[in-house]
C-alpha cells in the first residue's frame, strides 16, 4: 500500500508479529536454560519421594498407589528387572525409550530425560508427551528392582486452561489488529484532511476550515496550517493591491506625460503655457523616479539578512541634517518645530537610518494641519535609544493603524494624490528598523495627532 494509512497499519502489525516472535524465542531460551533444569529437579524430587514411600512400606498395594498418583496429574511407567512393564495415568503418545536408560535406572542411577530432552521449541520441550521426556528413579518392591519413569500429565493439568489460553491469544491478536486498523484510521485521517486542504490552497482558495480539534502534534500542525492559510490570504490580497497600486502609480504619470507631450506639439501655445507643461512633465518624471528608487530600496532592504555598512555615528546630528533639508517645507506650512537632540551615539547603517528620519519627518509635515506643531525627541537609555516624531496632524483611526506599514496603503484619501507620495515610506521605515533589530510604535488619535516612536539597540 502506498497510502500512509496502509503503511502505518502494516508497520504496526509487523511490529506486533516481530515482537511476538522475539518474545517466543526469548521465552524458549529462558525455558531451555533455566526453567527446564528447575522442572527436572522438581519432578526428580517428587519421583524420589514416591520411591522412598514405596520402599518404606513393603506391604503397600503398588498398583493402587501408582493409579492414585496418575489420577492426580502424572503419567507413570514402571519396568522391573525381568522386563515386565506397566503404565499408570494417561497414555504416552510415544513410548519409545532405550533399554540402556531402563537398565541404568534399575542399576540405581537417576534418568534426567526432561533436562536432556532435545533443544527444540518451547512447546515441544514442555508439552512433548513422550516417554523419554521423563525422570526415571529406581526403587525396590518386594525384593524386586524397578525403574519408575514419571512426568506431569500436561493435558490433564491444562486441558481446560490451554484452550482458554489459546482463545485468549487468538482473540488478543484479532482485537489488536482491529484496533490497529481503527487507530491508524483515527491518526491518519487528519493528515488526509491536511493533504486535501493543501491541494485546495495550492489552487488559490484560501477559505479553508479544518475541523481538527486535537491537543497533540497533529492538532498543532492543523493550527499552524490555518495560520499559514490566513497569512497567505493576506499576502495574496496585498500582492493584488501591490500590483494594482504599482500599475496605477506608474500608469498615471505616464498618461500625464504623454498628454502634456501631445500638448507641446501644438506650435500655437504660448511660452508661458509651454513652460508650465514642461514643469508638469518634470514633476511626473521625478515622481516616477522617486517611486522606482523607493521600490529598489525596499527590495534591497528585504533581501538583506544583516546590515552591511555598519558604523558608529551620532543620531542627533543626523536628524539635525534631515531637519535642515526640509526646513523650507516646514516654513512653507508655517509649522512650529521643537526638538531635543542631545549627542547620541549608536552603531548601525547611517544611510538606511537617514531614510527612516526622512520619511517620518516628511509624513509629520505632509499630514499636519496649518500652523500645527512637530516635536522630535531623542532619548538615550542603557542599551537602546528612542526617537519620537510627534505631530498635531490629522491622526489615524485604529483600523488605519493596522495597515499603515502595508505597501502603497494610504490611510487618508488625500494621500492618493500624486503630490502626496508613493505610499511606500512607512513600509521602508519598518523594514529598516527591523533590520536593525529594533521596533517602531505608533500612537495616534483622529484629528489630534500622531506619535511615532522608533526603538533601536545601541
114 touches 129 (CB < 8 A): no
3-state secondary structure of 112: strand
CATH number at residue 129: 3.30.450
Domain limit, last residue, from 137, 159, 181:
159
Query: pLDDT: is 414 or 418 the higher one?
Result: 414
268 domain-assigned: no
Least confident window among 124-133, 196-205, 401-410, 439-448 = 401-410
Q: Report the range out of 6-10, 176-180, 197-201, 388-392 with the highest average pLDDT.
A: 388-392
Alpha-carbon span 272 to 268, nearest angstrom: 12
367 domain-assigned: yes
Alpha-carbon span 105 to 113, nearest angstrom: 11
DSSP states along 333-368:
TT-EEEEE----EEEE-HHHHHHHHHHHHHHHHHTP
- Percentage of the chain lying above the pLDDT 90 cut: 29
Each residue of 111-149: pLDDT tens digit?
A: 998 888 875 555 556 678 889 999 999 999 988 899 999
- Percentage of the chain lying above the pLDDT 70 cut: 85
As to burial, measured by CB atoms within 10 angstroms (0-12 exposed, 13-18 middle, 19+ buried), residue 9 is: buried
82 touches 141 (CB < 8 A): no
Alpha-carbon span 209 to 408, nearest angstrom: 30
What is the reported pLDDT for 323?
A: 92
288 phi, psi to nearest 5 deg: -65, -40
HEC sequence for 407-458? CCCCCCHHHHCHHHCCCCHHHHHHHHHHHCCCEEEEEEECCCEEEEEEEEEC
What is the reported pLDDT for 442?
A: 92
Closest by CA to 435, choosing from 410, 456, 412, 452, is 456
What is the reported pLDDT for 417?
A: 40
341 domain-assigned: yes
What is the reported pLDDT for 147?
A: 95
401 domain-assigned: yes
379 domain-assigned: yes
175 domain-assigned: no
Spatial neighbors of 119 by CB under 8 A, at least 6 apart, are 32, 125
In this structure, the dihedral spanned by the alpha carbons of residues 378, 379, 384 and 386, taken in order and rounded to 10 degrees, is -50
Residue 414 has pLDDT above 50, yes or no: no
What is the reported pLDDT for 119?
A: 58
Residue 454 has pLDDT above 90, yes or no: yes
Domain limit, last residue, from 135, 159, 183:
159
CB atoms within 10 A of CB 260: 17
Alpha-carbon span 211 to 411, nearest angstrom: 37
128 touches 96 (CB < 8 A): no
447 touches 411 (CB < 8 A): no
N-terminal to C-terminal alpha carbon distance within the chain: 59
What is the reported pLDDT for 52?
A: 93
- Tally of domains in the chain: 2
Each residue of 233-283: pLDDT tens digit?
A: 777 776 776 676 667 667 777 888 888 888 888 777 888 888 888 888 887
299 domain-assigned: no
C-alpha cell at 96: 519409545
What is the reported pLDDT for 86?
A: 94
What is the reported pLDDT for 314?
A: 94
What is the reported pLDDT for 368?
A: 92
Spatial neighbors of 229 by CB under 8 A, at least 6 apart, are 197, 201, 206, 208
What is the reported pLDDT for 342?
A: 94
Residue 37 has pLDDT above 90, yes or no: no
What is the reported pLDDT for 371?
A: 87
What is the reported pLDDT for 413?
A: 47
Alpha-carbon span 422 to 416, nearest angstrom: 8
418 touches 253 (CB < 8 A): yes
Q: Cα–Cα distances in Å, from 349 out to 9, 24, 433?
A: 58, 71, 10
What is the reported pLDDT for 1?
A: 46
What is the reported pLDDT for 248?
A: 64
Each residue of 151-187: pLDDT tens digit?
A: 988 765 555 455 556 666 677 777 777 777 777 777 7
Q: What is the mean pLDDT of residues 313-342?
A: 91
Domain limits at 374? 304-457
Element at 54 (helix H, strand E): helix 36-56
Least confident window among 60-69, 112-121, 424-433, 447-456 = 112-121
What is the reported pLDDT for 115?
A: 85
211 domain-assigned: no
What is the reported pLDDT for 416?
A: 41
Q: What is the mean pLDDT of residues 272-298?
A: 80
Q: Report the range out of 59-73, 254-268, 301-315, 423-437 with the highest average pLDDT.
A: 59-73
pTM equals 0.47
Domain limit, last residue, from 159, 186, 215:
159
CATH number at residue 356: 3.30.565.10
Q: How confident is the prediction for the chain on average, in pLDDT?
A: 81
Amino acid at each position: 500500500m502506498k497510502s500512509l494509512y496502509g503503511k502505518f497499519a502494516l508497520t504496526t502489525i509487523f511490529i506486533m508479529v516481530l515482537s511476538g516472535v522475539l518474545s517466543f524465542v526469548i521465552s524458549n531460551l529462558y525455558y531451555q536454560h533455566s526453567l527446564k533444569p528447575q522442572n527436572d529437579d522438581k519432578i526428580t524430587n517428587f519421583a524420589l519421594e514416591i520411591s522412598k514411600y514405596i520402599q518404606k512400606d513393603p506391604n503397600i498395594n503398588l498398583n493402587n498407589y501408582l493409579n492414585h498418583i496418575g489420577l492426580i496429574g502424572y503419567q507413570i511407567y514402571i519396568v522391573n528387572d525381568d522386563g515386565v512393564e506397566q503404565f499408570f495415568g494417561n497414555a504416552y503418545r510415544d513410548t519409545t525409550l532405550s533399554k540402556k536408560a531402563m537398565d541404568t535406572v534399575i542399576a540405581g542411577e537417576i534418568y534426567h530425560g526432561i533436562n536432556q530432552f532435545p533443544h527444540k521449541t518451547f512447546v515441544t520441550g514442555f508439552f512433548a508427551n513422550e516417554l523419554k521426556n521423563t525422570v526415571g528413579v529406581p526403587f525396590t518392591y518386594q525384593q524386586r528392582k524397578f525403574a519408575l519413569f514419571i512426568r506431569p500429565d500436561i493435558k490433564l493439568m491444562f486441558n481446560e486452561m490451554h484452550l482458554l489460553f489459546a482463545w485468549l491469544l487468538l482473540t488478543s491478536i484479532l482485537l489488536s489488529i482491529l484496533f490497529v486498523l481503527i487507530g491508524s484510521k483515527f491518526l491518519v485521517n487528519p493528515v488526509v484532511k491536511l493533504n486535501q486542504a493543501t491541494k485546495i490552497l495550492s489552487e488559490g482558495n484560501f477559505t479553508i476550515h479544518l475541523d481538527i480539534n486535537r491537543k497533540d502534534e497533529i492538532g498543532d500542525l492543523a493550527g499552524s496550517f490555518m495560520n499559514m492559510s490566513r497569512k497567505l490570504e493576506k499576502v495574496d490580497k496585498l500582492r493584488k493591491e501591490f500590483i494594482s497600486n504599482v500599475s496605477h502609480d506608474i500608469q498615471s504619470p505616464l498618461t500625464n506625460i504623454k498628454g502634456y507631450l501631445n500638448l507641446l506639439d501644438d506650435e500655437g501655445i504660448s511660452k508661458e503655457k509651454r513652460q508650465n507643461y514642461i514643469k508638469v512633465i518634470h514633476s511626473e518624471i521625478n515622481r516616477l523616479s522617486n517611486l522606482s528608487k523607493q521600490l529598489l530600496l525596499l527590495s534591497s532592504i528585504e533581501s538583506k539578512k544583516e546590515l552591511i555598512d555598519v558604523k558608529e555615528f551620532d543620531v542627533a546630528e543626523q536628524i539635525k541634517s534631515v531637519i535642515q533639508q526640509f526646513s523650507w517645507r516646514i516654513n512653507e506650512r508655517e509649522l512650529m518645530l521643537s526638538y531635543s537632540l542631545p549627542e547620541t551615539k549608536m552603531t548601525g547603517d547611517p544611510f538606511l537610518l537617514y531614510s527612516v528620519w526622512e520619511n517620518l519627518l516628511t509624513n509629520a509635515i505632509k499630514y499636519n494641519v496649518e500652523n500645527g506643531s512637530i516635536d522630535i525627541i531623542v532619548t538615550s537609555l542603557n542599551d537602546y535609544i528612542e526617537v519620537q516624531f510627534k505631530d498635531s496632524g490629522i491622526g489615524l483611526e485604529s483600523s488605519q493603524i493596522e495597515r499603515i506599514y502595508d505597501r502603497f496603503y494610504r490611510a487618508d484619501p488625500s494621500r492618493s494624490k500624486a503630490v502626496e507620495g508613493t505610499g511606500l515610506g512607512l513600509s521602508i521605515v519598518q523594514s529598516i528598523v527591523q533590520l536593525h533589530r529594533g521596533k517602531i510604535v505608533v500612537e495616534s488619535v483622529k484629528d489630534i495627532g500622531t506619535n511615532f516612536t522608533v526603538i533601536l539597540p545601541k
